[in-house]
């Protein structure tokens, strides 16, 4: 372990943060956790060698990881929560790694603001969902303007992921993440429409998916998600519908920010936003399939 990083603060121990913080404990870091849900924090500390000293003390860690629903939550907890106790107590040179899937332009703004206080922010969102968060084999996309901070972050990131990519300046990791999830969301929506049409035409959906998986229609969605969560009716990927809809919206905003007309992105974003309105933010994202099942032509 890198001697300059011993104490790691971890904010947001939800579906992803829980196993990620657990892997930091396993790797030998002194882990302090914080979550807006005190019951989760209590349970995490009961099951791991970790503490929950509160935001002010946690700000005195060597490195702080955030794994929250979005960038607004990250800003809120670092700057506004408990009358700004995090920022008031953060030491000069603190390294913050935002591993949430946040909005890239917001990350750049937050990075500038923290830089004025002597704090380094890098973005390091992840792909791989709960199974790979558990095995410590996440893909991690690292953006940031401070090469020394990125090097310092590696020892922490390597305890959670094994495919690390440097994407460039601040916010580029978050941009890569949103664009990846735009493709995942598009692939899921397209595969769902194909399966629903097959079903109505009397073609067994399982047979269609088997064909896709050895043909040009193959994707991560057809190979893993359709098989494991949709066809067998489990709908339990551990990734909330509202979070995926948010990611596609971020990608849509990014397209607008760079001035590219991206009609497919608008359409896909709209589809996911509507599914979220229909069945709720906390539904599993794979349940969108069910919300589209009843879509009929006029
Ligand atoms: P989650 O909703 O399960 O967990 C979020 C956690 O943050 C919860 O425990 C919640 O209580 C806590 N929280 C919310 N607001 C807070 C605040 N202001 N202060 C302190 N704690 C707060 O979400 P998740 O699935 O763990 O996802 C976390 C992030 O990772 C999101 O940005 C998501 O888009 C991204 N992500 C999720 C997956 C997945 O498969 N679940 C995969 C890759 C990336």
Mean residue pLDDT across the chain: 96
Q: Are 111 and 102 in contact (CB under 8 A)?
A: no
Residue numbers annotated as active site: 177
129-156 tens-digit pLDDT: 999 999 999 999 999 999 999 999 999 9
Q: Would you state the pLDDT for residue 297? A: 76
- Are 141 and 13 found together in one domain? yes
Protein residue closest via CA to atom 30 of ligand 1 = 100
Q: For the residues 51-58, what does the mean pLDDT come to?
A: 97
DSSP letters, 107-174, are: HHHHHHHHHHTT-EEEE--EESHHHHHHHT-EEEEEE-S-HHHHHHHHHHHTTTEEEEEEEESTTHHH
- Are 37 and 107 found together in one domain? yes
With a cut of 60, say whether residue 70 has pLDDT above it: yes
Q: Would you state the pLDDT for residue 296? A: 72
Q: For the residues 165-178, what does the mean pLDDT come to?
A: 98
- Token pair, residue 223, equals 């190979």
CATH code for position 65 = 3.40.50.720
With a cut of 60, say whether residue 48 has pLDDT above it: yes
Q: Is the CB of 275 under 6 A from ligand 1?
A: no
Atom of ligand 1 nearest to the CA of 244: 34
What distance in angstroms lies between residue 23's CA and the mean position of ligand 1's atoms? 17
Atom of ligand 1 nearest to the CA of 73: 18
With a cut of 90, say whether residue 215 has pLDDT above it: yes
- Are 184 and 141 found together in one domain? no
Count of domains observed in the chain? 2
Domain end point (choices 117, 149, 169): 169
- Are 219 and 272 found together in one domain? yes
* pLDDT over 70, % of the chain: 99
Q: Is the CB of 243 under 6 A from ligand 1?
A: yes
Domain end point (choices 169, 196, 215): 169
Residue 255 domain flag: yes
What distance in angstroms lies between residue 187's CA and the mean position of ligand 1's atoms? 23
Residue 111 domain flag: yes
- Are 133 and 269 found together in one domain? no
87-128 tens-digit pLDDT: 999 999 999 999 999 999 999 999 999 999 999 999 999 999
- Are 34 and 158 found together in one domain? yes
- Are 75 and 41 found together in one domain? yes
Q: Would you state the pLDDT for residue 159? A: 98
Q: Would you state the pLDDT for residue 2? A: 55
- Are 17 and 161 found together in one domain? yes
Q: Is the CB of 104 under 6 A from ligand 1?
A: no
What distance in angstroms lies between residue 200's CA and the mean position of ligand 1's atoms? 37
Residue 249 domain flag: yes
With a cut of 70, say whether residue 192 has pLDDT above it: yes
Interatomic CA distance for residues 61 and 240, integer angstroms: 30
Q: For the residues 22-30, what does the mean pLDDT come to?
A: 98
Residue 24 domain flag: yes
Helix axes 241-257, 172-201, angle to 10 degrees: 120
Q: For the residues 75-90, what does the mean pLDDT come to?
A: 96
Q: For the residues 192-200, what does the mean pLDDT come to?
A: 96
Least confident of 3-7, 219-223, 260-264: 3-7
What distance in angstroms lies between residue 226's CA and the mean position of ligand 1's atoms? 23
The boundaries of the domain holding residue 187 are 176-293
- Token pair, residue 24, equals 């930091």
Q: Is the CB of 161 under 6 A from ligand 1?
A: no
What distance in angstroms lies between residue 88's CA and the mean position of ligand 1's atoms? 24
Interatomic CA distance for residues 90 and 235, integer angstroms: 41
Atom of ligand 1 nearest to the CA of 34: 20
In angstroms, what CA-CA distances link 165 with 129, 138, 223, 241? 17, 11, 24, 26
CATH code for position 185 = 1.10.1040.10
Q: Is the CB of 76 under 6 A from ligand 1?
A: yes
Q: For the residues 273-292, what does the mean pLDDT come to?
A: 96
Q: Is the CB of 19 under 6 A from ligand 1?
A: no
- Are 110 and 200 found together in one domain? no
Residue 118 domain flag: yes
Atom of ligand 1 nearest to the CA of 70: 32
pTM of the model: 0.97
Q: Would you state the pLDDT for residue 3? A: 61
What pLDDT band is residue 12 in, cutting at 50, 70 and 90? very high
Residue 124 domain flag: yes
- Are 39 and 150 found together in one domain? yes
Residue 1 domain flag: no
Protein residue closest via CA to atom 42 of ligand 1 = 129
Q: Is the CB of 9 under 6 A from ligand 1?
A: no
- Are 14 and 46 found together in one domain? yes
What pLDDT band is residue 68 in, cutting at 50, 70 and 90? very high
Residue 31 domain flag: yes
Q: Which of 238, 224, 242 is nearest to 291 (CA)?
A: 242
- Are 37 and 126 found together in one domain? yes
216-244 tens-digit pLDDT: 999 999 999 998 999 999 999 999 999 99
Q: For the residues 17-45, what does the mean pLDDT come to?
A: 98
Domain end point (choices 108, 137, 169): 169
């Amino acid at each position: 372990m890198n001697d300059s990083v011993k104490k790691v603060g971890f904010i947001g121990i939800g579906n992803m943060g829980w196993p990620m913080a657990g892997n930091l404990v396993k790797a030998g870091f002194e882990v302090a956790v914080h979550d807006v849900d005190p019951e989760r924090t209590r349970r995490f500390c009961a099951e791991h060698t970790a503490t929950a000293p509160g935001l002010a003390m946690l700000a005195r860690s060597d490195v702080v990881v955030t794994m929250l629903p979005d960038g607004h939550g990250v800003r809120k907890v670092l700057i506004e929560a408990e009358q700004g106790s995090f920022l008031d107590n953060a030491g000069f040179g603190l390294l913050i790694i935002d591993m949430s899937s946040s909005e890239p332009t917001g990350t750049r703004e937050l990075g500038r603001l923290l830089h004025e206080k002597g704090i380094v922010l890098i973005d390091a969102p992840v792909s791989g969902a709960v199974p790979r968060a558990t095995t410590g084999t996440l893909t991690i996309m690292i953006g940031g303007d401070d090469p020394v901070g990125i090097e310092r972050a590696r020892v922490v990131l390597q305890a959670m992921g094994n495919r690390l990519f440097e994407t460039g300046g601040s916010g580029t990791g978050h941009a890569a993440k949103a664009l990846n999830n735009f493709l995942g969301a598009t692939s899921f929506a397209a595969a769902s429409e194909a399966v629903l049409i097959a079903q109505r035409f009397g073609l067994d959906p399982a047979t269609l998916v088997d064909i896709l998986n050895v043909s040009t229609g193959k994707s991560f969605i057809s190979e893993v998600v359709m098989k494991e969560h949709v066809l067998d009716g489990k709908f339990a990927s551990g990734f909330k519908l509202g979070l995926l809809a948010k990611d596609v919206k971020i990608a849509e905003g990014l397209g607008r920010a760079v001035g590219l007309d991206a009609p497919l992105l608008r359409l896909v974003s709209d589809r996911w936003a509507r599914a979220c309105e229909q069945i709720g933010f906390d539904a599993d994202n794979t349940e969108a399939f069910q919300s589209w099942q009843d879509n009929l032509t006029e």
